[in-house]
Amino acid sequence: MRKAFGSKIAVRNLSLSVARGQIFGFLGPNGAGKSTSIKMLLGLVTPTGGEALVLGAPSGDIATRRKIGFLPEDFRFYSWLSPSELLYLHGRLAGMTPSRVRERIPALLDLVGLTPHRDKRLRDFSKGMLQRIGLAQALIHEPELIFLDEPTSGLDPMGRRLVRDIIRAQRDRGATVFLNSHLLSEVEVTCDQVAFIKQGEIVASRDLRAQSQDQIRILARVRNLSPQALAGLAQWAASAQLEGERLTMTTASIGCIPEILRYIVASGADVFEFTPERVSLEDLFMKIMGEDRGL
Amino acid sequence: MGAWIMAGVTFREAARKKLLWTALLAGVAFLALFSTGLHYQVKDLTHSSVPPLIRNQLLSAMLQVGFYAVDLLAVIMTILTSIDTLSGEIASGTIQAIATKPISRWQILIGKWMGFAGMIAAYIAVMFGGVTFVGRWIAAIAPRHAFRGGMLIFLECLLLLTITFCSGTRFSTLTNGVIALGLHGIAFIGGWLEQIGAAANSPRLVTVGVVSSVIMPSEALWRRASVEMQPSFARVLQLTPFANASAPSGIMIVYAVAYLLAAMALALYYFHHRDL
């Protein structure tokens, strides 16, 4: 899909597929086109070119929206409503019967931790509380596909944890979650798959479940490592670098770590530290996005 | 179904606006003032030797003042309460959580329109009923065709409501306000020019007034309502500013309805096609 606002191209060439039942992270700097992409998938924004199938139907299909939940970025709603009234309204708009909505409301308020605040008005809610009730309205009709645009913005650490648990619970019940987020640490522990968008184009995608086994960075402190031995590390890690006593390398598999350690020791080098660690999503993000901060 | 749900929540939203309650308070204050004025007018006329025909004409003019105030309050209240309902919710993103539900955009727009229409109907019923009651109670006079008059005032408000909806799908709240008030301003001035032109026998001035009614027929609806509510001889005597020397024809009402429908069609088209 492609979207241009006048001469400004918001989404250049978006092409992606998300499998059912997974948590998909959509990552990119500010202004990369994440929200516009979500809006095109939801039918809020008409693409300038291209098309998308969402749950097998063209994006924006009204009947399919019964199976879709959406938390917009910076959720806000009529401030005079109570949380229960808001959920009732959204449940009814989602096509639920009055009795079914009433049945669901207490459980949802409990899920997002707002039961003690059920009699307040939204105008008395903090930003974090609005995000929570926004998440609840996205889940009221038990959708098959849930779009969450920055769901943890404005939330304290406890709130983030809660959102993370809710997202996982949704996946466990079989729903697909499409997540836009700036908080890479959150995405890293939540998502199964991620795609990186830069200047309106998907530039990379990663399977994070495989990532944990594949991309391992090793930080070591060694003395007396010969240039020949350093060159020999290329059989496991193409990017081995030695600066003084500091050795860094990235290897493709956790299984070869004992071999690398044995090799270094056998070469006659002294090893003082040897720490394998997973390459963080943030490192990956910075590597993919380069120096462009998206501003 | 979605349209009715939207109508319900919009009615509640509109009914919670302080502006509506301020307009109602202003209306109650006006009714009190109107009752007092009418009371003293009746008292003075009773003690004077004014012929019954002129007496009725004067009391009828006073009643028209009452209805004119109701019309003015209803028009202002309509524009100011509805001005930000679409543009404001589009700008704040509130509309996004609604527009992604399994309801069509036309249902959202029509639902909101119905919610406001209900609120305006209730306001006009209270205020129009109040003036009619006061007229009957204090001066024993009644408008000639009260229902027709009330419905024409309601149609005028619906027309302005539809204009704010149409403009609100395209422009910001502030621009929308300028457009709605500007259009009604043209109609208002044009209406008076037409009246003065007819009284002064100036066909060119009347033409200017008619053209302004074509640009925006809201004020013409009030003038037609006024004609419907006055005694039939009032127009001949032309003793009051509401005598309506040049009364809008039935065609103007048809034109106003067509204008409303065209504005609604345009609003639906714009809202359906715009990015949210």
DSSP string, A179-232: EE-S-HHHHHHH-SEEEEEETTEEEEEEEHHHHHHH-EEEEEEEES--HHHHHH
Among B13, B94, B102, beta carbon nearest to A66: B102
Q: Could you give the angle at the alpha carbon of A273 between the alpha carbons of A267 and A278, nearest 5°?
A: 105
Identity of the residue numbered B22: T
What value of ipTM does the predicted structure carry? 0.82
A80 contacts chain B (CB < 8 A): yes
CA distance A171 to A159: 19
Is the pLDDT confidence value at B117 over 90? Answer: yes
Contacts of B47 (CB under 8 A, 6+ apart): none
Q: What pLDDT was estimated at residue B236?
A: 56
What are the helix (H) ranges across chain A?
34-42, 83-93, 98-111, 127-139, 157-172, 184-190, 208-214, 227-232, 257-266, 281-289
Q: Which of A175, A105, A100, A173 is nearest to A137 (CA)?
A: A105
Among B92, B273, B275, beta carbon nearest to A44: B275
Q: What is the pTM of this model?
A: 0.84
Is the CB of A95 less than 8 angstroms away from the CB of B102? Answer: yes
Q: Which of A269, A228, A215 is nearest to A246 (CA)?
A: A269
B-chain CB neighbours of A43 within 8 Å are 99-100
Q: What pLDDT was estimated at residue B147?
A: 93
* DSSP secondary structure letter of residue B101: S
A75 contacts chain B (CB < 8 A): yes
Is the CB of B102 less than 8 angstroms away from the CB of A92? Answer: no
Quote the longest CA-to-CA distance of chain B. Answer: 70
DSSP string, B146-210: HHHHHHHHHHHHHHHHHHHHHHHTTS-HHHHHHHHHHHHHHHHHHHHHHHHHHHTT-HHHHHHHH
CA distance A215 to B49: 106
What percentage of chain B has pLDDT greater than the value 90?
56
Query: For A98-107, A143-152, B102-111, B232-241, which range has the lowest pLDDT when averaged over its residues?
Result: B232-241
CA distance B228 to B152: 9
User: Is the CB of residue A217 less than 8 Å from the CB of residue A248?
Assistant: yes
Is the pLDDT confidence value at B109 over 70? Answer: yes
Q: Which of B246, B241, B257, B224 is nearest to B71 (CA)?
A: B224
User: Is the CB of residue A271 less than 8 Å from the CB of residue A219?
Assistant: no
Report helix, strand and coil shares of chain A as percent, to nearest 5: 40, 25, 35
CA distance A123 to A81: 8
Question: Is the backbone of residue A199 left (phi > 0), alpha (psi -120 to 50) or beta?
Answer: left
A-chain CB neighbours of B93 within 8 Å are 72-74, 76
CA dihedral A155, A158, A163, A167 (to 10 degrees): 150
User: Closest Cα of chain A to B225: distance in Å?
Assistant: 37
CA distance B12 to A295: 42
Q: What pLDDT was estimated at residue A274?
A: 92
Q: What pLDDT was estimated at residue B244?
A: 62
User: Is the CB of residue A199 less than 8 Å from the CB of residue A192?
Assistant: no
HSE, side-chain direction, 13 A CA sphere, residue A106:
3
Among B6, B100, B104, beta carbon nearest to A44: B100
Is the CB of B103 less than 8 angstroms away from the CB of A93? Answer: yes
Is the pLDDT confidence value at B149 over 70? Answer: yes
Residue B165 tokens read as: 């909806």
Q: Which of B119, B135, B116, B138 is nearest to B264 (CA)?
A: B116
Task: Report the b/e string of B190-223 with b at 16+ CB within 10 A.
Answer: bbebbbebbeeeeeebbebbbebbeebbbbbbbb
User: Closest Cα of chain B to A139: distance in Å?
Assistant: 12
Mean pLDDT computed over every residue of chain B: 89
Paired sense of beta strands A176-180 and A23-27, if any: parallel
Higher pLDDT: B37 or B244? It is B37
pLDDT tens track for B155-202: 999 999 999 999 999 999 999 999 999 999 999 998 888 888 888 888
Rg (CA), chain B: 20
B5 contacts chain A (CB < 8 A): yes
pLDDT tens track for B17-62: 777 788 888 889 999 999 999 898 888 888 777 787 788 888 888 8
Q: What pLDDT was estimated at residue B186?
A: 92
Among A68, A76, A89, beta carbon nearest to B100: A68
Residues facing A145 on adjacent strands: A68, A176
CA distance B205 to B209: 6
Is the CB of A70 less than 8 angstroms away from the CB of B96? Answer: yes
User: Is the CB of residue B160 less than 8 Å from the CB of residue B75?
Assistant: yes
Is the CB of B102 less than 8 angstroms away from the CB of A73? Answer: no
Q: What pLDDT was estimated at residue B239?
A: 46
* DSSP secondary structure letter of residue A1: -
User: Is the CB of residue A177 less than 8 Å from the CB of residue A171?
Assistant: yes
Q: What is the pLDDT along chain A (295 residues), one digit of tens a residue?
A: 999 998 889 998 889 999 999 999 999 888 888 999 999 999 999 999 999 999 999 998 999 999 999 999 888 888 889 999 999 999 999 999 999 999 999 999 999 999 999 889 999 999 889 999 999 999 999 999 999 998 988 788 888 889 999 999 999 999 999 999 878 888 888 899 999 988 888 888 888 877 555 678 889 999 999 999 999 998 888 778 899 999 999 887 778 889 999 999 999 999 999 998 877 777 778 777 775 554 4
Is the CB of B97 less than 8 angstroms away from the CB of A63? Answer: no
User: Closest Cα of chain B to A127: distance in Å?
Assistant: 14
B97 contacts chain A (CB < 8 A): yes
